[in-house]
Structure 1
Amino acid sequence: MKRKFLLLLSMILVLILVVQPYDGQALSEVEKIDKQLKELKNEMEQTAKNQKNAEKTVKDLTGQKETTKEDIQALLSRIDQVQKKLEATQSNIAVAEEKLFVTGEELQEALKQLKNREELMDSRVRLAYTTGTASYLDVLLSSTSFTDFLDRYDAVESIVTQDRNIAVQKKEYSVEVAGKKAQVEQELKEVKALYAEMENRKAELEKNEREKEVMISQISKEIEEMEEISEESERQLTELAKKASALEAKKNTIKNYYKGGKLGMPLKSDYRLSSPFGYRTHPISGKKKLHAGTDFAAPSGTPVYAAETGVVIVAQSWSGYGNCIIIDHGGGLWTLYGHLKNGGILVNKGETVKRGEKIGLVGSTGQSTGNHLHFEVRKNSEPVNPAPYLK
């Protein structure tokens, strides 16, 4: 009699002990999604490269018309319009990717719960096999007293209820896992379509940028180096960087790399300090506004280096900044590298780069009419004077 009752107790104990969190998958669903996104992005970029028809002559770009300052201003406006469309697509991608990661986390949790229920059911089967069959009725009829009968009844009812719940939950989690997997596939398709749209926008923007280069080369003696980054563009980029930084922090990729002291110079080759941090009057618009960074004039293609170790949170084209990189060094410190040439972004979002690592190439993309690096240092997302940070 006692043996049967002890068997019931051991079965309850097994039910309690085997419900442990499942962490045995070699690669989590979120990591798988991250890998798939990188593969998708690479695939889209390669497709765009294969389809791109680069112009070969000046005539292809500008025709027979003599270039004027007005032509350049009109082209800069056109570039800004295309850029805004690209930004909208990039924002949609950011939202879609974040949604995809949330779905991945939900799938991971559902898989974990399903695995737990499967292991629990396997344990129950093994227990029944090793201990032999036990009749619940025999256990109840073997009671030595009414109190003992009630105790045994409660134990039997608990086991039966838990067995039933395990079976029901396993079925529910199986359905949920199937649904989440289908949702991940659908969301991946949506992201892929957005990537394709983004590459088309980038191709159109690069064509305009190449045209701008030709125009500026024809009129270079008549136009001074000019950069126009609107306050709205700056604000939107800051918001994008904040969201990207929060997502990377959630993935535990951002650490406090910056421990104080001087940052490394972003340029190692010869350069000219063409515009310092501070308020200035714009040469074209005549408006006075804060220039949030330091401009280093240098030839197109001059290597740009990371000023400190950190995680890349932005690596894309953005309005007046053109091709732009932002690195989060932890502790609220960011560095920004703007106007990089087409093909001049040499790192990817989410990548960890080391101090002094080559990350880009000087150019004149965005609202710029001269090859230079626009370099910013931001503390808690606000621009500060880079000079005290640099060697």
Structure 2
Amino acid sequence: MKKIIQLSLISTLLLSTLSVLPATQVSAETTEEINQKQQELDSKSATVENGIEATEESLKSLETEKSTLEKEVQSLQKQIDEVMKKLEEQQVNLKDSEVKINELKEKIATLEDRIQQRTQKLENQARFVQTDGDTHSLATIVLTAENFSDLIGKVTAVTQLVYANKQIVTDQENDQKELKTAETAAINEKKIAENLKNEIERSKNNLYAQKSELDDKILQIATKYQLTEAEKNTLISEKNTIATQTSKLTSDLKAEQDRIVAEQAAKVAADKKAEEMATPTTNTPPVSNEGTPTPPNTGGTTFIRPSNGYVSSPFGYRSDPFTGAQTFHKGIDLAGSGAIKAAADGVVEYSNYNNGGYGYLVIINHGAINGVNYQTYYAHMAPGSLTMVAGQTVRQGQQIGVMGTSGSSTGVHLHFEVRENGTPVNPAPFIGL
């Protein structure tokens, strides 16, 4: 969000700045003023471009974050499905436990009724013994026996009756213990099932809460994405406005430069003709068998090396450092650092930023030499290092900028070209390489 706020501030600043500049008319008295305004627009354009790049990076970051959150949501949904499945299984187990408990309760009720009936019977027998079971009663049994066998029979019957009652009590006690054990087990099973059910419900609620939180984050990211996309579109609109104003300035500047260059070229040609008439020469540059021109003289002085450094890329076909395709290199690259100097006397034809890959570029028109018009190109200069403006006269060896890496460049170097009647030729022979 901080990045989005910064981009909003950039947009507001650019809009307020652009409102000061006229959109349809540029008035300038000198090329210096036009160049200054154009450089200001170039700077603003670079700022807007940086803003666009920042919004694009922000959009990529938001897309990545959104994708990550969506994966987390899918993972959570899978966990929720698993928990729901376990919950359904446990609910079935819970119902089975409840059925089992109800069956046990019915069985317990039946056994308790039987135990109660038996207990009442035993109590009645106990009361009979307490009231009538004295020694006289026992003696009566003995005395009333007809014979010994009858006595034995009566005693055995009493013994069996007592034993049967005792066995009933024992069975009832064992059954009651077993039923209570089963009932306790069933109750414990129900508690375990209910606890598990509650635990699963809690887990499910927690997972749903996490999913809701992630859904909210995705919604926030989507809102930010729309805001950032709107910021990007605003910046692109501002860039187009700047481009329109820059095009108008460029048109005005080109008209003024053409006028100045024409005047200067005519003056240089007149001066050269006057010099040749004063000192006749036959200094026509021969052409070698390979088609590489011999360096011309400019007022009696040959071209000089425009900067320090080694040749990192010669003139001719090469593999493009960006695409790898075979392309024609129109000049030579001198890798290093430091000042860039004019290779010969002439008039500055162009001194500005070039969108064609040259970056900050200076073009010097050396006029017609032995019937051939010569130009030199100095590209990839450092921003803010240009010391000349179009229309100015420059002397050989005069500094015109500093080596940089602007435009389509892979490192600090000078891209140097020599052109004959607008056609690039190998610069190496011109500067003694």
Whether the TM-score (by the shorter chain) exceeds 0.5 is no
TM-score, normalization by structure 1: 0.41
TM-score, normalization by structure 2: 0.38
Q: In terms of Rg, which structure is larger?
A: 2
- Of Structure 1 and Structure 2, the greater helix share is in 2
